[in-house]
Structure 1
Amino acid sequence: MIIKYISFSISIVFFSFIVGMIITALIKKTNFYNNQLSNLNFIKNELTNNIIGIGVIKWIVRNTFFKFLNQKIKIERKINITDLKNIRNEMTKSEIDHLFAFVFVLIFITILYFKQNYLFATVMLLVNIAMNLYPSLLQQQNKRRIDKLIFKFKN
């Protein structure tokens, strides 16, 4: 039974990636995206990031097939400020994609909760956190690092 819940949750979360990309594409040119969403920073403290396990997600992204998913988010040896800004924009897009995907799956979780299917809702929530929320938090952490590099280039 639990295997069924896990596999269905993974399926919904993978589908949510597409939903997140569509929503981001629709709002990308708006002021809301450029002013509010592109500068989100939920966790500013690196210690907190480490405590909640962002480092584990970073290792998974670096050392598994996930490293091949978004090739635009790579820093080459020789880099300039324009490249850094482009990478930051791609990170922002990826972060927002994952956030919208996270919210999309929360709708399913809420329905399961109201149907009193607590185990399924919990499994889906955990999968959603691991596959949508944590990658978004990882992008925020990486954006902070990129922002420091951009600041160094400017000075």
Structure 2
Amino acid sequence: MLKNHLLTGLSFGLSLSIVSWMVGIIGNALLLKTSYYEKLSHLNFIPSKALNKTLGIGQFKWIVKNTFFRFLNQGIKVEGKNTDLTAIRHQMTLAEVSHLIGFLFVAAFALFQTFNISLVFGLSMMIPNAIFNAYPSLLQQENKRRIDQVLGRQKVK
């Protein structure tokens, strides 16, 4: 029974995490028109580089850069020195907020399924949710911090 809940929760969490990308895009489009969006563009959950390294954000970045995931968001690509970093930062914010909305969407389902089915089922749903929604959002935050440093140096010049 435990193994069944674990495997079923993982597969349900995986499919719901992929569906949550579309929910995140729609939710982001709705939020974009509000006054709260400016605050959302400066989120910083983990400011520590050491904690990001411990969580494996560097390995996740390698996976994104070297697998089919690199084809998913073509708007986030630095192609040379003449790239508009402000536009790329905006695209990163869109992706980050979309993934956060998707994370909350799946987390709500996981909480419901925890009470409806079992704790193992709900927690196992959160594993793919963390991989497909939380880690991309944290990666975007790290990349935005790097872009902000470059933009800050450009302003000084």
Q: Scaled by the length of structure 1, what TM-score is found?
A: 0.93
Q: Scaled by the length of structure 2, what TM-score is found?
A: 0.92
Distance 2:75 2:100 in 1: 19
Which residue does the alignment assign to 1:5?
Answer: 9
Structure 1, unaligned runs of 5 or more:
none
TM superposition shift of 1:153: 1.4
1:58 aligns with 2:61: yes
Distance 1:79 1:143 in 2: 18
Which residue does the alignment assign to 2:114?
Answer: 113
Which residue does the alignment assign to 1:47?
Answer: 50
How big is the alpha-carbon RMSD for the aligned residues of Structure 1 and Structure 2?
1.2
1:18 aligns with 2:22: yes
1:55-89 deviation digits (Å, cap 9, x = unpaired): 12111101110000001101112225xx1000000
Paired letter, 1:54: I
Which residue does the alignment assign to 2:148?
Answer: 147
Runs of 4+ in 1 over 3 A off after TM superposition: none
Equivalent residues in 2 for 1:67-78, closer than 5 Å = 67-78=70-81
1:37 aligns with 2:40: yes
Paired letter, 2:121: F
TM superposition shift of 1:116: 4.6
Distance 1:98 1:12 in 2: 13
Identity of aligned pairs, percent?
46
